[in-house]
Amino acid sequence: MANGGIIGPVNDPVIYLNSTATAFTASGTFTARTGQPSVHYLVVAGGGAGGGPGPGANAGGGAGAGGYRTSFPCGTQLTLTAGTSYPITIGAGGTGTSGPGGNGASGSSSIFSTITSAGGGGGGSAVTGPGVVGGSGGGGAFPLGTGGAGNTPPVSPPQGFAGGNAPGPGCSNGAGGGGSSAVGSNAGTNPSPGGAGGAGTANSITGSSVTYAGGGGGGSYCSPAASGGSGGGGAGSSTITGNAVSGTANTGGGGGGARSGIRGSGGSGIVIIQQPAVQSAPGVWSLSEQYNYKKAGQWIIPFVSVDYLVVAGGGGGGDSASGGGGAGGYLTSFPGGTKLNLTSATSFPITVGAGGAGATSATGVAGVSGSPSILSIITSAGGGGGGADLVNGVSGGSGGGGGYNGVGGSGNTPPGVASQGNNGGDGNNLGTSPAFAGGGGGGSGAAGTNGYSGPTYGAGGAGLANSISNSPVTYAGGGGAAVGICVPAAPGGAGGGGSGARRCTSFATAGTVNTGGGGGGGDTYSSKGPGGAGGSGIIIIRAPGAAGLTASPGTNTVTTLPAPAGGCKVATFTVSGTLTT
């Protein structure tokens, strides 16, 4: 740029609309990109090695996982200086050895800038007893070995948990090593195995969910080997299994404790650095330069990057020998998908789709399709209505099930970059039992079941679970079909799908509110009532803690999540309204 006589560098606007993640599986150097003021990080240290056996029947404890520290997704980012090189240290796992002796070797620390995660503690030996302290602590060994403390040295939030204890009399088993999310299990007594390793923690900093830092399983004398914790923890060995299993490389998993053979080595650590989307314009700018860049669409526009879940209203069930309603379309970026950039200090209209009404006549009418849900450029289509006798299911986000002698509607209609749902099942057209059975409505996770496919004829397709709200909730299940004889009623799919009518005893049920579940198919021919209504949709937006989100009207909410989400803001819309960023 021209700087009007000011002496200094010539700059251009810096615009990075997408985040990038760099993974270090070996020690190296990281240099921050220009205009990047801060980064997210995941730093996992090397796991410890399992403890060894002692005289007689005694088995060693599993090792602790390497310390686990992260700012992702909504914790405090690490501030860096652009153009500066930062050394990265990847901690090695402790090396497993053979034969009786001392405790397992502890893992080494992983380091990025001011963030240090401590190596996992070695498993206790059946000669020495207690596990070793560390990022997560090693499990104790028989007799009376206590688990090593985790989160050593202490940091907040904790980088790991303690190893389990070996209680003494029994089967001479070792306890499990601690993981980043849970303590190691205590050693079981006869005839139980050694203690399982503590669970690790899932993280999506790379764009895919990966679990890190699971503890190693304890050695077992009497029973099958104890399992390692999720996140790369190695299993212990038993009298009959030979060597203990090592922790998985670049997860920080702890090694398994040994009853015989070689102790499991710890898995090496990993450092992952995510540079979030950013815009900046360093330097001094004249008004004319700003105008020209804005005219060319190259000037910075402040925005907040958010994850989203957009579920439309489910379709209603048909009226006679009918199919279940299709689930509302399901579109999400969480976890690990492409975030949505919303302009800061701007109001966005939010549309939460209503569920479609169930058909009420006995004249062969399909259920009403659900309405779309809309967030900015993201639109999920309403679920298709369920078909009726000789009537096909309606296409939609997920397709409605076909009625008797009808075919299921197509899902993912209209199609987009990501699939938003599945097809409805076909109705029974074979003239065989169960008479007059429709097809199940499609769900976000699976197609509806055909009306001639037992044992659950016309079941709704399953929905999908999502933890954007910090707890797993299943959305967008398809509605179950009506069945015309006294077989069990067709269930709705997991995720709010309503069940279908059953000619002998039961009426159709509606899809669950704010899940986008399809309504169950009705059977007015046999006086078992109309089709069930589809469940209304929902929209959930998850943003960094610094984002100033507000939601209106008051039935919609904005909450701040506790750990491990690290202070993310979550706006939940159960009715249409306005989101302000």
Task: Give the residue-averaged pLDDT of 379-406.
Answer: 95
Site of tokens 């710890």 = 266
Find all residues with CB under 8 Å of 376, minimum gap 6, and list them.
340, 342, 348
Sign of the torsion angle spanned by Cα atoms 376, 379, 380, 385: positive
pLDDT tens column, 414-440: 997 789 999 999 998 765 555 568 999
> Minimal CA–CA distance to 59: which of 111, 117, 100?
100
> What is the percentage of the chain residues whose pLDDT exceeds 70?
88
Sign of the torsion angle spanned by Cα atoms 56, 58, 59, 60: negative
Q: Are 571 and 551 in contact (CB under 8 A)?
A: yes
Q: Which residue has the higher pLDDT, 271 or 305?
A: 271
Q: How far is CA 509 from CA 40, 126, 327, 477, 492, in A?
A: 46, 60, 14, 13, 9
* Phi-psi category of residue 238: left, alpha or beta, with phi > 0 → left and psi -120 to 50 → alpha: beta
Residue 3: its pLDDT value, please?
Answer: 39
Q: How far apart are CA 569 and CA 545, in angstroms?
A: 5
Task: Name the 3-class secondary structure at 360.
Answer: coil
> Minimal CA–CA distance to 262: which of 49, 435, 78, 439?
49
Neighbours of 38 (CB within 10 A): 15
Q: How far apart are CA 391 and CA 18, in angstroms?
A: 46
* Phi-psi category of residue 268: left, alpha or beta, with phi > 0 → left and psi -120 to 50 → alpha: beta
Q: Are 163 and 136 in contact (CB under 8 A)?
A: yes
Residue 299: its pLDDT value, please?
Answer: 56
Residue 282: its pLDDT value, please?
Answer: 55
Q: Where are the domains of the chain?
A: 20-300, 305-581
> What is the percentage of the chain residues whose pLDDT exceeds 90?
63
Specify the range with the lowest mean pLDDT, choosing from 71-75, 378-382, 445-449, 502-506.
502-506
Neighbours of 339 (CB within 10 A): 20
pLDDT tens column, 88-144: 999 999 999 987 778 999 999 999 999 999 999 999 998 888 999 999 999 999 877
Q: Give 61's pLDDT tier (boundaries 50, 70, 90).
A: very high
